[in-house]
Structure 1
């Protein structure tokens, strides 16, 4: 099968940053399913993984953490899927990725794709949807009893922010998103934000201007260090902050100590990386969100497509993501599958 990956961890402009090769097609065993890839999405985690190591790989490492396709084989222990099922998933960062003709993935991380979505629309959603869902409901423990509380989503126009806004609004929270350009401001409103403020200007002062002395929840989807002081000032006493971007220098936790604020991290690959007993929660999340997409309660966030899936389009996608101006999600689709 064809696969795109790397041996060395290099800047995208390097000719060897991503390479296309023929590799053996894997076989499904245990709870793995073999998926024929129809479309993939490219996320910031792809670009980070491309630069994550200094060691040279002995064999091609395949990236890619969002995909949709058709089940071609099932392992002997599979319970959830049959050959021919149309699925979507984000996979496991510790295993070979989706930038290939076929991929093995644990069925507990997979769900049937929304029936109303194309493969491309479906491929746009798993990683960001799981990240947003886990942030709101697993990490910050938001329930229906929290309706009417306020949440500040820093970086609202990106892939995770776009679905987090929708989920938070659906949970009847008062949603304040941040954006700094007119097109990203407009996008956040379309996604359902009640207010949009500019994260490049003093955040707490802007919150006060729109009637919020403090907020109950903060979901930080941008540079955690850069926004830490603003979050510490803006969070309500006994509130909760969740962040997804790793800190590059120590965080001064004393700034939130007196408020008894809860701080938590969200990493979408935790369940698969550590083989937690509740890995199947990601199957459940994606299944529930597929129903929401089909019922029109949530909408896809795909805004850009490239084709076909090859080394050149993947390099272009990485360049676009690293530019830092992406709104919504970027998908690469196979021309022969459309």
Structure 2
């Protein structure tokens, strides 16, 4: 089958950074779905892996951890799906990725595709929706409306609001909680985007944040989602996070002095949406339930796609351009590519 992969890690500017390749069709295991991929998306994890991880035994390594497609076959123990079902999912970073005609994925981390979205609009959601949902409700411990005391009161600062995770996190916080949402953005187009996603306030991350928060009348916030450049913002957290507040990160700061957060008893968590499938946790199926709930909310008009630009066909050349755009830091929302054989 056709796929896009790489053999040698390195810079995206190389012609062989990503290649059109032919690989064997996969065979589903007991809990696997064999999915005919209709569209995929690109995430920072693709860039990180491609730039630094060697391909096994000089065989092409297939990236891609977002897909929407049709179930073509199921494993012997599958109970949640059947052939013909339309699905969307992120997958498992320890297995081959979605940038191929056919893909295997454990049914427990797959959701039913939103009926109201096309393939590309759906494909951009899974990884970022899982990340944002787990970060907001599991790591930051925010309550949804009607889910008990608190119901998500307070203020959430989203650092990196115009990216893929930020775009869906803002929607979740605005639609499902009582939080006041502040998002960072430094360009007019990104500021407009985060407002469209639902941010109550926008602050410019190219300027000092404490002064801007004070000007809003919110010098301290109860919750911080640090989605990018956390190294830069860690020194100001003791100043801007309220006592007994919460901070959640998804990136990899080179160093992190948590001692400075002790005086305010601030809780710090990392969100890594691959943890459940990577370690086959007992609650792995929660990602299936989560994606089905996201699908329901999309079909009800509560949440929207974060696709920004019209998708291109899934080829090595187009995927190289998508990686380059993501690396530039100038992308807004999510990028999708559609199957070249549709």
Bin of the TM-score, shorter chain as denominator length: over 0.9
Aligned twin of 1:253 = 258
Equivalent residues of 1:27, 1:73 under 8 A apart:
no
Equivalent residues of 2:11, 2:17 under 8 A apart:
yes
Deviation at 1:21, TM superposition (A): 1.4
Does 2:331 align with 1:330?
no
Equivalent residues of 2:124, 2:336 under 8 A apart:
yes
Does 2:239 align with 1:233?
yes
Deviation at 1:54, TM superposition (A): 5.1
Alpha-carbon distance change, 56 to 37 in structure 1, aligned in 2, over 3 angstroms: closer
Equivalent residues of 1:8, 1:56 under 8 A apart:
no
- Stretches of structure 2 lacking an aligned partner (at least 5 in a row): 145-149
**Structure 2 CA distance, aligned partners of 1:193 and 1:129?**
17
- Residue deviations 1:199-257, cap 9 Å, x none? 11111111110011200000001111111112221100000000001112x21112211
Matched position secondary structure for 1:278: coil
TM-score normalised by the chain length of structure 1: 0.97
Aligned twin of 2:147 = none
Does 2:171 align with 1:166?
yes
Equivalent residues of 1:305, 1:333 under 8 A apart:
no
- Stretches of structure 1 lacking an aligned partner (at least 5 in a row): none
Equivalent residues of 1:217, 1:240 under 8 A apart:
yes
**Structure 2 CA distance, aligned partners of 1:174 and 1:212?**
10
Superposed counterparts of 1:152-301, under 5 Å: 152-170=157-175, 171-248=177-254, 250-301=255-306
Equivalent residues of 2:18, 2:320 under 8 A apart:
yes
Does 2:279 align with 1:310?
no
**Structure 1 CA distance, aligned partners of 2:153 and 2:105?**
39
**How many residues of Structure 1 are paired with residues of Structure 2 in the alignment?**
336
Matched position secondary structure for 2:310: strand
Aligned twin of 1:73 = 73
- Residue deviations 1:108-167, cap 9 Å, x none? 110110000101100010011000000001111111324331110001011100000011
**Structure 1 CA distance, aligned partners of 2:34 and 2:112?**
14
